[in-house]
Structure 1
């Protein structure tokens, strides 16, 4: 028995010694680790602000280190963030209580026994900038998180926002059920996965002299699996889903319900070129208790030269304040003066982008009702012209190598939408004649045939356009670009109301 107690006592002493040594090691390494993490965060913040105006920067204010724990304070500064037409600047402070490894107490309480270098527990600090957020969150920190840092540089994080409620002087109410996001990352965030969820957010607006309106979003989910490229940004897959969106609108307080709203994105890099797709899906649309239909859209891009595009984005970001100022002065097409060096660099980057033969496509835009489905697709292929100084017509001819579009318009779907419109206008089912509804689709088909813009096959109105080598093939009829443009303008003119 004494021998057993001695062995156990020895193990306890050994573990305590290891933990003390590990904590000391962590304390010595922590300043460097925090500096690297903040530097990486600022790179990501800079990239995320491209195109939205303004700037953001994270800095370490103080670090108090002890044997088993440290306390760090950070500040994030956001300057000239454009919200609507107005720039906004603000600062937020965070306090971070860092437990040194290898066995931080918060992880032990959660039965997480894998040794880690440190466990970070940060919260938004209450100050003049954040005081209002603490009010709407009921005094609980509006943002807090935990991150475990492994000895191999990997991270395991959870970020949470508590339930919040905000009410303005007029009685409008915003309610938020809270948010939780879990993320993992390899060393230097080379690969990142995340998933998050929020149960509900609702906004009820009351305005004097206007009917109230309400929007409620429920079942929000997001996931992602991303890898950092040598160019500093991430590629991979991500998804955002909303189970249901419900809106109550107008004097009659009619209800719009959208279910199974999804966005799925995927991108990959091959050498210096980027390829990606973004898909949108609406599973069901219902208005005023009447079924409308469902919809899908798929966008894609191929062969985007990354170094050249990054150079163009960097130039745009640098000149963005001048462009915004010109736009504020009322210039419809704002421009800024460029030096000869800038012109040469921008021209070289544009030609490099075009030399990769990029393609941009709306691969599918579809809408489906109970009795029919319509589809549309469009793709544009580009190439490098001999010079960007060519006459405009010749420049476009060399730069745009191919355009393809296809339209399949369902006559029964047109009839379904005509019947829906009649119901929304107050007509009863008895008043809506099936024959009249069917004739709506037939009438559209007849107009399409007369305009030479489409053909009709059974229940489908079909139109296809293919451009290449300066010629247009429209529904099997070949014509020049000028003849095609004349046909389009003639049909648009026929649609104008006559006095």
Structure 2
């Protein structure tokens, strides 16, 4: 018995010594560590707002150090960030950080997290004149809080919590948000990170004197990912996945309900060769209904391969720097902006573009499909690029050298076209089942007949099919081969006839 008591006493002394030594060590390391964190945070914020014409920074205002704990205060400032459509973001908010020194911070011990850590940080948004409405919507609790632990190996684990919010205005406009929880883990420099989070629901009701009320609802949001840095600072590899159980909108005088279920977005980016990167995004919607009436489901994949990483990074920075010009062109309805570049910038831009094309990148739309109860239509398109001898070539020669191969295939299901025609008749108020069935049957056949007569497609069973293959200046269009110039003239004639 005495031996057991002695062992326990020795263990208690060892823990006390380790705790005291850890607290002393953390206290010594804390100021420099916080400064490094602020510097890294500002570097990331600078990247995030690049091209917006504004800035966002975090500042360490004060640090009150004690032996076992410390208190830090920060300010997060945003200035003149262009959100588009004439909207500019400006704010200045304060945050309080209660830091517990390691190796056994009490907040972790209470949560039965007994792995020793260097420090634990508990950061909350401070209530002031600007944030008071947010606090009120959250039931007067901190609307944003972050708990972070720093391991001795430099690993960082954070739990980010957005509190539930409820806001109702006098006219009935309201927001009801369940709150969100996000867990992030990674190394101290942010080069490798894993994250996952979830939110149960978000409901917004918009009430206006000029329009009928509109309701938007999202349910069961989940997201997760695993990202790793590369030698190129702005390029990461890994995956990001987003899932949404249901999205619902109630709109119009009749308060019609549009529902989409099983919404997914899956992003994957990899290093697919020496100095090149490739990526893919897949979108899926499992079920779409209108006032309870089935519409269909859809999916789409977008992929890019063999993109020179250095050139891609440089061109991304160029795009961010000229983002206002692109937004102005979009607002004016122009396809491309008029960007003024001096000789040095133009030479740099063309050099980066040539380097990007030298790796022969490939871009594709894959399995773009829409499926209804009776049929499925699909579209696939891929384009291979190459670096031209010069960007000063005449447009026709530049195009031939720039695009080395194109493959495309469109398959329209006549039964699917019929389903959509029946659905349109339903929306138009048609109630006669026989009339709706007749419209559905005629729609698919009419599309097939028009496609064959125009030479734009062929009919294969229940599908209207159009295929295209271009390479070496020759086009194979639905089995007919011709020079690209002849194909361009033929398409121009078809478009001119269609526009009459």
TM bin, normalised by shorter chain, reads over 0.9
Which residue pairs with 2:195 in the alignment? Answer: 194
Describe the shift of the 1:445–1:200 C-alpha distance in structure 2 as closer, same or farther (beyond 3 A).
same
Which residue pairs with 1:238 in the alignment? Answer: 240
Matches within 5 A, 1:444-463: 444-463=447-466
Residue 296 of structure 1: how far off its partner (Å): 0.2
Give yes or no for the alignment of 1:117 onto 2:149.
Answer: no
Residue 334 of structure 1: how far off its partner (Å): 3.7
Alignment match of 1:476 (pick from 476, 479, 489): 479
Which residue pairs with 1:127 in the alignment? Answer: 128
Name whichever of 457-466 and 24-33 sits farther off.
Answer: 24-33
Residue 248 of structure 1: how far off its partner (Å): 0.8
Give yes or no for the alignment of 1:310 onto 2:318.
Answer: no
Residue 32 of structure 1: how far off its partner (Å): 2.2
Deviations 1:90-136 (A, max 9, x none): 12221111101000000100111110001111001112332221122
Residue 246 of structure 1: how far off its partner (Å): 1.2
Name whichever of 434-443 and 232-241 sits farther off.
Answer: 434-443
Q: What is the CA–CA distance in structure 2 between the aligned matches of 1:210 and 1:323, rounded to whole Å? A: 32
Which residue pairs with 1:491 in the alignment? Answer: 494
Matches within 5 A, 1:356-375: 356-375=359-378
Q: What is the CA–CA distance in structure 1 between the aligned matches of 2:329 and 2:239, rounded to whole Å? A: 37
Unaligned runs of 5+ in 2: none
Give yes or no for the alignment of 1:267 onto 2:269.
Answer: yes
Which residue pairs with 1:98 in the alignment? Answer: 99
Describe the shift of the 1:433–1:311 C-alpha distance in structure 2 as closer, same or farther (beyond 3 A).
closer
Q: Is the 8 A contact 2:421 2:439 kept in 1?
A: no
Q: What is the CA–CA distance in structure 2 between the aligned matches of 1:271 and 1:120, rounded to whole Å? A: 41
Matches within 5 A, 1:346-425: 346-425=349-428
Describe the shift of the 1:359–1:35 C-alpha distance in structure 2 as closer, same or farther (beyond 3 A).
same
SS at match of 2:434: coil
Q: What is the CA–CA distance in structure 1 between the aligned matches of 2:348 and 2:428, rounded to whole Å? A: 58
Q: Is the 8 A contact 1:65 1:71 kept in 2?
A: yes
Which residue pairs with 1:12 in the alignment? Answer: 12
Residue 435 of structure 1: how far off its partner (Å): 4.5
Aligned length: 497
Give yes or no for the alignment of 1:158 onto 2:159.
Answer: yes
Q: What is the CA–CA distance in structure 2 between the aligned matches of 1:454 and 1:326, rounded to whole Å? A: 35
Q: What is the CA–CA distance in structure 2 between the aligned matches of 1:268 and 1:442, rounded to whole Å? A: 45
Q: What is the CA–CA distance in structure 2 between the aligned matches of 1:379 and 1:364, rounded to whole Å? A: 11
Which residue pairs with 2:215 in the alignment? Answer: 214
Q: TM-score, with normalisation over the residues of structure 1?
A: 0.95
Describe the shift of the 1:140–1:433 C-alpha distance in structure 2 as closer, same or farther (beyond 3 A).
closer
Give yes or no for the alignment of 1:24 onto 2:24.
Answer: yes
Residue 425 of structure 1: how far off its partner (Å): 2.0
Q: TM-score, with normalisation over the residues of structure 2?
A: 0.95
Unaligned runs of 5+ in 1: none
Name whichever of 9-18 and 41-50 sits farther off.
Answer: 41-50
Which residue pairs with 2:140 in the alignment? Answer: 139
Q: Is the 8 A contact 1:147 1:156 kept in 2?
A: yes
Residue 5 of structure 1: how far off its partner (Å): 3.3
Deviations 1:75-102 (A, max 9, x none): 2222222234222211222111110100
Name whichever of 75-84 and 240-249 sits farther off.
Answer: 75-84
SS at match of 1:189: coil
Name whichever of 102-111 and 231-240 sits farther off.
Answer: 231-240
Q: Is the 8 A contact 2:221 2:242 kept in 1?
A: yes
Q: Is the 8 A contact 1:423 1:429 kept in 2?
A: no
Name whichever of 306-315 and 281-290 sits farther off.
Answer: 306-315
Which residue pairs with 1:80 in the alignment? Answer: 80
